[in-house]
Chain A
Amino acid sequence: MDFLRPASWEEALAAKAEHPTAVPIAGGTDVMVEINFDHRRPEYLLDLTRIGELGDWEVGEETVRLGASVPYTTIMERLRGELPGLALASHTVASPQIRNRGGVGGNLGTASPAGDAHPALLAAGAEVEAESVRGSRLIPIDEFYTGVKRNALAPDELIRAVHIKKADGPQQFSKVGTRNAMVIAVCAFGLALHPETRTVRTGIGSAAPTPVRAKDAEEFLNAALDEGGFWDSGKIITPSVARQFADLCSAACNPIDDVRGTAGYRRHAVGVMARRTLTWTWESYRATGRDAHEMGGAA
């Protein structure tokens, strides 16, 4: 196994172009587990730890450009306001030691359906900044996950950053595991309210071959909130609307039975989490978000 140690981003892109099978490694919290368990023996490891800018982030007007290696701990501590859903998801990643090393770039690179960041990215809305010696492109998060542990990256591309929409409303993230800490998701759910566009977005983890949005559920809720004038009135969402939203989220799942849980349970739990996170975000919107939005709109 050859260990490639580029000193700069340009060198890293060149190395990846020369060795497309090279496996990028930053925090190592996924790759080293795979290697230690002998699940893979890559010909080349491409060490990205010398490339400092991967650990940087910029807060822009509309989005946060989050470097691929920004550790989860930093997201929790520094970006809670801009990225509340992702910050909540970061809290649930493994242990403090892992959160100090692992970052969203690794989650995206591995593209496991169980990655904790995915539901939050799907719900917030995001684009993955992929780059190669051929150039740079932005891949919409909805098009990024292409199969079990597969993504839309070309063999010569590396993840430079992810551009995540700054929260314009309440966001929530919820994850089921059979232990109260340090556990891989049995299933997970992310929800973001977008008062500016009067839409909601969802993200489901570990309940389908890839992370997915519950698009039928989103469309149903968007229509229900719109028709009922909920965004303006801030009325309490009726239980029947919440239940139908939850049922549609369950229906968006395509889970399997495995050692971590049954398909039936995953569908059920996603529904429960959808209903609860809808209540939490909507209550938050009623309490603070709506005023803030209206004031923002007036200014």
Chain B
Amino acid sequence: MGTTGTPTNITQGSRTRGGVGESTLRPDGILKVTGEFAYASDMWHEDMLWGQILRSTVAHAEIVSIDTSEALAQAGVYAVLTYDDLPTEVKHYGLEIQDTPVLAHGKVRHHGEPVAIVAADHPETARRAAAKIKVEYRELPVVTDESSATAPDAPLVHENRTDHYVGHVPHPNILHRQPIIRGDAEEAAKKADFIVRGEYTFGMQDQAFLGPESGLAVPAEDGGVDLYIATQWLHSDLRQIAPVLGLPEDKVRMTLSGVGGAFGGREDLSMQIHACLLALRTGKPVKMVYNRFESFFGHVHRHPAKLFYEHGATKDGKLTHLKARIVLDGGAYASASPAVVGNAASLGAGPYVVDDVGIEALALYTNNPPCGAMRGFGAVQACFAYEAQMDKLADKVGMDRVEFRRLNAMEQGSLMPTGQPVDSPAPVAELLRRVKAMPLPPERQWASSEGADVRQLPGGLSNTTHGEGVVRGVGYAVGIKNVGFSEGFDDYSTARVRMEVVGDEPVVTVHTAMAEVGQGGVTVHAQIARTELGVTQVTIQPADTQVGSAGSTSASRQTYVTGGAVKNACELVRERVLEIGRRKFGTYHPAWATAELLLEGGKVVTDGGEVLAGLTDVLEGECVEVEEEWRHRPTEPFDLRTGQGFGHVQYSFAAHRAVVEVDTELGLVKVIELACAQDVGKALNPLSVIGQIQGGTTQGLGVAVMEEILVDPKTAKVRNPSFTDYLIPTILDTPTIPVDVLELADHHAPYGLRGVGEAPTLSSTPAVLAAIRDATGLELNRTPVRPEHLTETETCWTSPRN
């Protein structure tokens, strides 16, 4: 890994091993690799029941009747609940807009919507009982895209909307609309020597986390409930669960269980309320686990999008203007759609300087599966479109595609289309230069004296080519992602840090509600505590709601915000420890009063390195504990008409170079290499940073060449809810991913760090598409690209013949 940039100032800078900047190993690493880690689906409780959801078999219908009598009569069944059994007046939930029924009421709006829940003493009994529930549907016409959703006679997905977006949308099937207007794009277009337009389509991607949704609800003697759950944000869940149960929040005690990946798909509730309802109804612990099939219906997906882009440039290659229209399909319920719209709009111009901009982004309500958060969150779809545009425009101007981007790249001090200045390093041109400068993988890697090595060729062991039809292509892309929650959201985290002496050794305990979903937050928290407090022994408490909110493990924010909260709490602990030291030993040596004091190696030392006291002596009979909320600098909402505003906390940038080989006759693709350069501000754990970048890159590759949930446009039903037909990359599909990490400190952020997790997911996809275009000469305006697009043999795959 190459690292460059200004050295980052670490306030306390303990030399304790395992601190910030080291690649300390994950505490859960060995358990996960050896298969011993307890995921949420491994939970067990004596005497527990199994919960099962009955989901709608149609996308849009009135529920004429539900008959649960046969299910209830089955031996081993303890409860069957429908909407009518909900205990309070609160019967809906949602991240921002409470439009999602806990159980369907009178109507279902998408395929797979929960209609009834069952608890039984065996999962198979529960499944059979659910199958015996008779639901009579009267099917309604579906709306599945912009034209059907906004047609004059379109059925309304939600009648009588009362949310705060309804006042400014042009149609009730449009959930939210955000324009970004800066300068005058119409007028500026007149200065353009070249104009390119494109219409782009982004398919519906699934998070495809490997650990399916799972939870265990245990009724408590005080009338409350303990819920063990795989989620991304315990306190957000809690706020939605408690009112439906009719319990105060302190009677719903939540503990994070082993999370097998999230990528945004666990921001919304899945079975949390259902498991609690069944547990409280039956008085028994209830476990619920989705299988893979159900998981495809049990969480939101990435918004599919249609994007219309127009860019202009002068003949010397400067961008003149941008007009864009981004239509996101939010599906049947709101989920995170409004925020995704804000991101797609505000980041829709990409990391480029363009003064005259007119962008409109909107999310539709349709009868398609609900869409919401997924890694990259609206910025992914936009990046696919603007990067395709950059290639087209560079070609028109007659410039090298990378040089064209570098010429127009934003830098520190540039203005976003929202008017917000980019006030920390924005090394866009440098990232592009770096990926381009990396050596290219050798040609014909697959050729050997013994013939072709098919594993290195498109098709792999399927043995489709021995080199015939294979053409190499190279493509570049760069993207911009915001870090943290935006648009005025009060995005804080809480950390509780305790220092005490245990067994003659100073020990630090860190307690937060941060959801460890695989990102490595637990590792980083321990590193921060070691650096700030100079001790080696750090215990990370399990995440639960017995401590304040840590916000969501989303938006590349956890190291920044909960990491910042841990750092802040550690600093307060350090102050208290030094106060105690001064109180106890201040008279022993004048340095207690005059020197800058640090905690190092379990001792209080001066900045000159002189030891003043051991922490065991300072803390004898004392325990220092601090719980504090910590906030990054505030943001503000975007103006509803112009989109102007200081909307984002921080920006992150990554660039990719993709090298692909395409079997141009069969339309099969082998990605040979996906090189990435990314600025991370400060790599708190360099190995984890590389892992995040490689993971994000691979997830971007997936939606470039294979990952797509197919929804029938006539019925709005999901056609491939399985890992047999929803394909994610295997190791044979995953290329070498060389990573060049820059560390240019953002002085607004703890340690100068920059959120890492999402940026590489943006530019990976357009880089792969650009490389495939380079190999084939095809225009390819949709992703994922399928073999029939590359061989131009597409027929109407959306209407299968039986």
| In the assembled complex, B464 has its CB within 8 A of some CB on chain A | yes
Q: Which residues of B contact A178 (CB under 8 A)?
A: 668, 705-706, 727, 786-787
- In A170-188, which residues have CB < 8 Å from any B CB? 172-184, 186
Indicate which residue in A38, A175, A261, A279 contacts B463 across the interface (CB closer than 8 Å).
Answer: A175
**B732 and A276 contact, CB distance less than 8 A:** no
B residues 660-684 near A (Cβ < 8 Å) are: 665-668, 670
Q: Are B666 and A179 in contact (CB under 8 A)?
A: no
Partner of A273, one of B293, B464, B788, B797: B464
Q: What sequence of 0s and 1s flags, for each residue 239-273 of chain A, a beta carbon within 8 Å of any chain B beta carbon?
A: 00000000000000000111111111101110011
**Does any Cβ of A come within 8 Å of B236's Cβ?**
no
Given contacts A262-B793, A263-B795, A272-B666, A91 and B461 within 8 Å (CB-CB): yes
Contacts A179-B727, A182-B730 known; A262 to B463 CB distance under 8 Å? no
Residues of B within 8 A of A174 (CB): 459, 462-464
Given A92-B462, A265-B667, A276-B464, A256 contacting B788 (CB threshold 8 A): no
CB neighbours of B730 from chain A (8 A): 179-182
Q: How far is the CA of A188 from the CA of B460 in the complex (A)?
A: 14
Say whether A181 contacts B733, CB under 8 Å.
yes
B665: chain A residues at CB < 8 Å are: 272
Chain B residue numbers with a CB within 8 Å of A268 are 791, 793
Cβ of A182: which chain B residues have Cβ within 8 Å of it? 730
- Given known pairs A91-B463, A179-B733, the reply for A260 and B458 (CB within 8 Å) is no
By the criterion CB–CB under 8 Å, are A264 and B788 in contact? yes
Residues of B within 8 A of A108 (CB): none
Known A179-B733, A180-B459, A181-B730: A264·B795 in contact at CB below 8 Å? yes
A257 contacts which of B127, B293, B666, B797 (Cβ < 8 Å)? Answer: B797
A176-B668, A263-B795 known; A258+B800 contact, CB < 8 A: yes
Chief secondary structure at chain A's binding surface? mixed
Contact B466 A186 (CB under 8 A): no
Name the distance in Å between B476's Cβ and chain A's nearest Cβ.
23
Chain A contacts of B469 at CB under 8 A?
272
Give the shortest distance, in Å, between B240 (CB) and chain A (any CB): 30
Chain A residues with CB below 8 A from B788, complex form: 261-262, 264-265
Number of A-B contacts (CB under 8 A): 117
Which A residues are in CB contact (< 8 Å) with B462?
92, 174-177, 180, 183
Size of interface on B: residues with Cβ below 8 Å to A: 45
A88 within 8 A of B: yes
Question: Nearest chain-B residue to A41 (Cβ)?
Answer: B128
| Residue on A nearest B790 in the bound complex, by CB | A265
B733 pairs with A262, CB closer than 8 A: no
Residues of B within 8 A of A36 (CB): 291
Q: Could you say which residues of chain B place their CB within 8 Å of the CB of A184? A: 724-725
Q: Is the CB of A259 within 8 A of B786?
A: no
Closest to B720 in A: A259
- Chain A neighbourhood of B692, CB < 8 A: none
Q: Which residue of B lies closest to A179 (CB)?
A: B727
A149-181 CB mask vs B (1 if < 8 Å, else 0) is 000000000000000000000001111111111
In the assembled complex, the Cα of A260 lies from the Cα of B710 at a distance in Å of 10
Chain A nearest CB from B203 CB (Å) reads: 12
- A176 and B291 in contact, given A184-B724, A265-B787, A265-B794 (Cβ under 8 angstroms): no
Identify B666's interface contact among A176, A260, A262, CB under 8 A. Answer: A176
Chain A residues closer than 8 Å to B458, beta-carbon distance = 180
Q: Pull 22 A–B residue pairs with CB atoms less than 8 Å apart, ordered by A.
A: A33-B724, A91-B463, A172-B463, A175-B463, A176-B787, A178-B668, A179-B706, A180-B462, A180-B732, A180-B733, A181-B731, A181-B733, A256-B800, A257-B795, A262-B794, A263-B801, A264-B793, A264-B795, A269-B787, A272-B665, A273-B666, A276-B464
B residues lining the A interface (CB < 8 Å) = 127, 291, 293, 458-466, 468-469, 665-668, 670, 705-706, 710, 719-720, 722, 724-725, 727, 729-733, 786-788, 791, 793-797, 799-801
